[in-house]
Amino acid sequence: MTNFFYARLAASNIKKNGQIYFPYIITCIITIAFYYIMKSLSLNDGLDSLYGGGTIRQTLGLGCNVVMIFAVIFLFYTNSFLMKRREKEFGLFHILGMEKKHLMRVTGMETFYIAILGLGFGFLFGIVLDKVMFFLILRVLGREVSLGFYISREAIISTIILFLAIFFLIFLNTARRLGFSKPIELLRGGNVGEKEPKANWIFAILGALSLGTGYYLAVTVQNPVAAIAIFFVAVILVIIGTYLLFTAGSIVLLKLLRANKRYYYKTRHFIGISGMLYRMKQNAVGLSNICILSTMVLVMISSTTALMIGSDDLVSSRYPYDFIFYSKEKVYGQTDFSDREAVITQALENNGLTEKESIRLRTLEFSALKKKNGFTILKDADIEAFINDFEVLDFITLDDYNRTTGENRTLNDDEVLVCSNRVKMKSDLFVLDDFQFKIVEELKSFEYVGGGALASNIASSHIVVVKSEEILNELYEYQKEQFKEMAQEIDYIYGINVDGEEEAALNAYMEMRNGLNNLEVPENEVTGRVESKVEGAQGFYDIYGGLFFIGIFLGLLFTVAMILLIYYKQITEGYYDRERYVIMQNVGMSQKDVKASIHSQILTVFFLPLITAGIHLIFAYPVVEKILAVLNLSNTRLYVYCTIGCFAVFSLLYVAVYGWTAKLYYGIVKK
């Protein structure tokens, strides 16, 4: 019977406080939907069929953790402001004879209802949104993606566990507040302004440290393989830093503005600044949330767009020729490949393709340990060295270089040209143990037929152009001595460009593969393999289709979340401020003053998150660049343009959302 009473009281409390509960419930629903979508995406079986599926899964998994931290902070704060608003009501219940344990029971029931509502509608909304977005994005991309739509049981279970835990913590926090408070304090609670955090300067220092470390990690990361893991550590540090610094920083800023009397005692600033100081923590958390979401959206959309726009570039840098044949030989110029080339030529003919141009060249490629003053492949070299201290050296002759580029360069025996794909040499000498060459020039770019595979290699690599075949042979013998059975052979590469249909090229490719597989070659020789640009491009689009999808999906999701956050902030603050604005209008504040004051408030802090997101984006650049490099996008200028473009479009959206919500706010506070 009494149980029933508390259950009913809890329900009617929520209904009665609908105005403040409605936005909170919406927030819960969206956060839950959001987490569910993230989680189910990271568990999607389709990921396995994607290029780098493991990495993407790991990335999404880490992304889930980010969303989780976000959810905890966000729900905790929105709830504590809500409870603060209700303290008066609790005080009244208390004075009317409810004991604290009864109050706790009521709040417990309330939290339970919210949890049920939030989870129920959260899943409904999440699943529907998931489905709708799948449909829309596939329409826009205009191609199939191997990620199917599905309802993940595992994701539902983990979402339920996580959010029940969060709601339980929220309840404990409420109970703690009720337990420690005196009824009279509760009665006044709703009116008391937020106190400045006692240790504001510690917040500031911790925030600066955290943000600084995050930035430092992002800027100094060298190894693309480690980039993804480091990226997430940096993201979490930056999130923590943003919260702490926004809290400390915005309070300091507002207090400085208040201390400046001539600024503060102006109609436009007076109300806004005092209002923001009154709820300084809520203000800071709201702004940090918006800032973090904005950054996520920007990183996600700009990198995805860069990948999407860059994918044609990627294909042509990965596949410089329509068909490329690779094989190996033991000693420079010793093996005859005419039988293998005949298979290829035959396949082209059979499919009505005509050869436009072709090239044949030889390269030697092996890994060497990077030391302070050069490279080494000596056996006794530091075997403990990290794998990322190894870099790839790719040697070709000047003749092959000149034929590829159409240039007519000359070199001396002790001179080389160098082209590095990731990290420049920054030296006048190229040293490999006892070999020492003068670097005549560091080439900005050099695309040659053998460089495609190199370009997609995530390790740092250097193409070294040596004068003659003799030198190449010396290097070959030397590495053979050192590496023994692990030694590399010289690569023979044959690239052909053709005229003809894509369909024919695909058929020709199949024929070549079969032909080569069935070819008998002398002992100690390898048949070799062939690559086709058309076939490779298809694979590329399959792979990147999934990536675009995830990028756009999450980007849109975060955008929706950001809009809702801004909406939530404006609506709740509108209701909080309404009473005050009514009083002020009674003592003579005009509608014009109300509008001016709202705009001043917006201009003081509203663009802070956007500006900070921009700064985050600049610091994220080095690490995102590395991650994109893993995905084969090395055209960093394209990424920069995409980022600037996305930032511009996003800013417009941000301004529009603000304009819209400021109107809503005005509608609420005006009499």
Partner 1 sequence: MAILEVKSLNKIYTTRFGGNQVEALSNVSFLVEQGEYIAIMGESGSGKTTLLNILAALDTPTGGEVILDGENLSTVKEKQMSAFRRDNLGFVFQDFNLLDTFSLYDNISLPLVLMKKEYPEIREKVETISYKLGIHELLRKFPYEVSGGQKQRVAVARALITEPKLVLADEPTGALDSSSTDSLLNLFNKINEEGQTILMVTHSIKAASHAGRVLFIKDGEVFHQIYRGNNSNQEMYQKISDTLTFISTGGELDD
Residues near partner 1 (CB under 8 A) are 188, 191-193, 261-262, 265-267, 270-271, 274-275, 277-278, 580, 583-593
Q: State in angstroms the smallest separation of the CB of 269 from partner 1.
A: 9
Supply φ then ψ for residue 494, to 5 degrees. Answer: -130, 115
Q: State in angstroms the smallest separation of the CB of 89 from partner 1.
A: 17
Please say which residue, 405 or 585, places its beta carbon nearer to partner 1. 585
Q: State in angstroms the smallest separation of the CB of 176 from partner 1.
A: 22
Please say which residue, 261 or 426, places its beta carbon nearer to partner 1. 261
Cα–Cα dist 601/588, whole Å = 20
Q: Which two tokens stand for residue 150?
A: 């599905």
Q: In 3-state terms, what secondary structure has residue 364?
A: strand
Beta-strand ranges (E) seen in 511-559 are: 529-532
Cα–Cα dist 364/462, whole Å = 12
Please say which residue, 244 or 280, places its beta carbon nearer to partner 1. 280
Please say which residue, 425 or 589, places its beta carbon nearer to partner 1. 589
Cα–Cα dist 269/593, whole Å = 10
Cα–Cα dist 502/471, whole Å = 41
Please say which residue, 270 or 435, places its beta carbon nearer to partner 1. 270
Cα–Cα dist 496/484, whole Å = 34
Please say which residue, 131 or 188, places its beta carbon nearer to partner 1. 188
Q: List Cβ neighbours of 523 (8 Å cut-off, separation of 6 or more).
A: none
Q: State in angstroms the smallest separation of the CB of 583 from partner 1.
A: 5
Cα–Cα dist 501/516, whole Å = 22
Please say which residue, 313 or 593, places its beta carbon nearer to partner 1. 593
Q: State in angstroms the smallest separation of the CB of 221 from partner 1.
A: 45
Please say which residue, 213 or 274, places its beta carbon nearer to partner 1. 274
Q: State in angstroms the smallest separation of the CB of 113 from partner 1.
A: 30
Please say which residue, 168 or 264, places its beta carbon nearer to partner 1. 264
Nearest-CA neighbor of 113 among 221, 224, 247, 11? 11
Please say which residue, 370 or 580, places its beta carbon nearer to partner 1. 580
Q: State in angstroms the smallest separation of the CB of 195 from partner 1.
A: 11
Cα–Cα dist 272/270, whole Å = 6
Contacts 24+ apart (CB under 8 A), 431-437: 431/373, 431/374, 431/375, 432/368, 432/374, 432/375, 432/376, 432/377, 432/393, 432/475, 433/374, 433/375, 433/376, 433/377, 433/378, 433/478, 435/474, 435/475, 435/478, 436/374, 437/464, 437/466
Nearest-CA neighbor of 246 among 215, 292, 213? 292
Q: State in angstroms the smallest separation of the CB of 592 from partner 1.
A: 8
Please say which residue, 128 or 583, places its beta carbon nearer to partner 1. 583
CA triple 186-189-193, angle to 5 deg: 160
Beta-strand ranges (E) seen in 398-445 are: 415-420, 429-432, 435-442
Q: Which two tokens stand for residue 356?
A: 């436009």
Cα–Cα dist 557/554, whole Å = 5
Cα–Cα dist 581/570, whole Å = 14
Beta-strand ranges (E) seen in 458-551 are: 461-466, 490-499, 529-532
CB 492 within 8 A of CB 337: yes
Q: State in angstroms the smallest separation of the CB of 274 from partner 1.
A: 5
Please say which residue, 275 or 574, places its beta carbon nearer to partner 1. 275
Q: State in angstroms the smallest separation of the CB of 599 from partner 1.
A: 16
Q: State in angstroms the smallest separation of the CB of 120 from partner 1.
A: 37
Please say which residue, 127 or 254, places its beta carbon nearer to partner 1. 254
Nearest-CA neighbor of 449 among 558, 357, 551? 357
Q: State in angstroms the smallest separation of the CB of 185 from partner 1.
A: 10
Q: In 3-state terms, what secondary structure has residue 113?
A: helix
Q: Which residues pair with 371 in a beta bridge?
A: 374
Across the chain, which distance is largest between two alpha carbons, in Å?
101
Q: State in angstroms the smallest separation of the CB of 614 from partner 1.
A: 31
Please say which residue, 8 or 188, places its beta carbon nearer to partner 1. 188
Q: State in angstroms the smallest separation of the CB of 189 from partner 1.
A: 9
